Every structure is written in C-alpha cells, then in structure tokens.
Amino acid sequence: MMAEDKRFSLAKLALEQGDRFQARDQLASLLKEDQDNVEYWLLMSTVVESNKERIYCLNKVLDIDHRNEEARLGLILFGAVDPGSVRPG
C-alpha cells in the first residue's frame, strides 16, 4: 500500500506542476491495480483529455460511491445529467 500512496502523491505533484501527462500515466498505472479507488478516479477526471473521458471517470466514481457529491457536481457541470434529476445523497 505504501508504494501506491507514494505513486498517488507523485501523480498529485505532477498535476500541481502542470504535468498532466505524467499525472495521467501514474493514475492509469494505479487504476490497473485498484479500479475501485474513488480518489484515483476523481483525480483522473481532471487530467484526461476529453469531456467524454471526464464523464466516464465521474460515472466510475458514482458506481463505487453513489453518494459522492464531487462526481455528481462534475456530471452536472459537464452536462451529463440534468441538475433537476440529481437528488442529494
């Protein structure tokens, strides 16, 4: 688990430094090992190239945690869901 934590920290650092490609590579590697990690999917949604990919990542978050507000708001922002159709929690 320590190696995953370090790689996730490296992904966040790469993103903070503006290196979206490095962040995406780190996250893709992490997701191959743990596809049920909400934090990985949320961060991945910020580094992928297209809105279609962002929506996919956010939907994966909701598959894992259907109450995740960040994912719900992101899907509304990208027009993937009608704000009126989303009920809190």
For the purposes of burial, counting CB atoms within 10 Å of the CB of 82, is it exposed (0-12), middle (13-18) or buried (19 or more)? exposed
The pLDDT score that the predictor gives to residue 79 is 84
pLDDT at 88 over 90: no
Residue 73 belongs to a domain:
yes
Can you give the CATH number for the domain in which 11 is found?
Answer: 1.25.40.10
Give pLDDT tens digits for 73-83: 999 998 877 66
CA–CA gap between residue 31 and residue 12 (Å, rounded) = 14
Task: Work out how many domains the chain is built from and give that number.
Answer: 1
Q: What is the pTM of this model?
A: 0.87
Give pLDDT tens digits for 22-71: 999 999 999 999 999 999 999 999 999 999 999 999 999 999 999 999 99
The boundaries of the domain holding residue 56 are: 2-83
The pLDDT score that the predictor gives to residue 87 is 56
